[in-house]
Chain A
């Protein structure tokens, strides 16, 4: 299992989802991706995208000006 980070700050939805989707395609099941976002909509959209595409949101950290959405890549 490897851990990666994706900087999606300043991007407005759905761009954080699109960037996360692109990145996940190159990862293996079990890998973890931390997505850094500033659009509060990402806190809904990334988990929704994960639910319908078989990935798991491990955690959502609100650091004030940045949200960190942590995804575990599913076996899909």
Chain B
């Protein structure tokens, strides 16, 4: 090759991809980062929504890692394409709705499309054999390489020495001896390598960087699919699953009730898309009605929302019901007692 080899590295924002990238950069390869946004990434959204998180440092870890490494980062919106990965995973789900193996294959395939359109040479991931039970088993790694189409253009620098040689090694673009043989769930080798490179600060997502690994979130998504009679979603649906208290008192509608001010502000932005309820006579949360609710349903909804307001012990509470078009009416209702809120309604 007459030019400097070029690689794209899948940057999650965690330590492993940071180290894997650095290992390859140290061998003189031009590396740029890529980060895929599926809509289910934990960081960012929840921090921005909840009031209690508003004082935290709001940092996109992938951008931060790229800046530490001194490389470009391309953040790619794959929300639409990711639907098929989640809805029809060839290799099934993990403990919740996490389609980890198909997700990894998808991301490597997208990275392959990226390098082929930009004359880059290979792909880097921070995978470690045995690190994760579903997607980072040794027997899974060649499957991901094959099914993504990347084949030997997929390099896992942290465990490359216990895997067959890849194209960049065979071509002599990088030295296999300078790659690593990490395996298993221990983080010690990564910590030592981080120390070696002088990385003092790094995110440790520990598998928690995707909402689909979260059981309550997965339950809400299953509930959404069951209620709609189809396994599909829009971007706003999966955003709203991250916010508020979800109660489904009837099969054909549910309530999304803000738990605090930040969530209320966030739900405010959806009032032109949903019927919404808010208490007038007392302070209380904003709630959205997802589904089709008739007058009886709206009265039921109003009594539930009043239960979560400061008027919960009052005899009567006035609740404003506003439809998506902006038309309002006021209901004067008796708030539910705590015992009236059935456990089965909680999604």
Contact = CB atoms under 8 A, between A and B. Distances in A.
Interface of A: 10, 12-15, 17-18, 21, 39-41, 43-45, 48-49, 51-53
Interface string B22-45: 000000000000010100010011
B177 to A, nearest CB: 30
B298 interface: no
Contacts, number: 69
Contacts of A10: 269
Q: 4 tightest CB-CB pairs across the interface, nearest first?
A: A41-B58, A13-B44, A48-B63, A12-B45
Interface residues of B, number: 28
A52 B47 CA distance: 23
Interface stretch (B64-72, B179-187, B201-209, B318-326): B64-72
B243 to A, nearest CB: 10
A50 B45 CA distance: 20
Interface stretch (B73-81, B101-109, B275-283): B73-81
B231 interface: no
Contact of A40 (B37, B54, B62): B54
Contacts of B57: 44
Contact of B60 (A44, A51, A53): A44
A53 B32 CA distance: 10
B144 interface: no
A19 to B, nearest CB: 9
Contact of A52 (B45, B73, B76): B73
A48 B67 contact: yes
A12 B239 contact: yes
B48 interface: yes
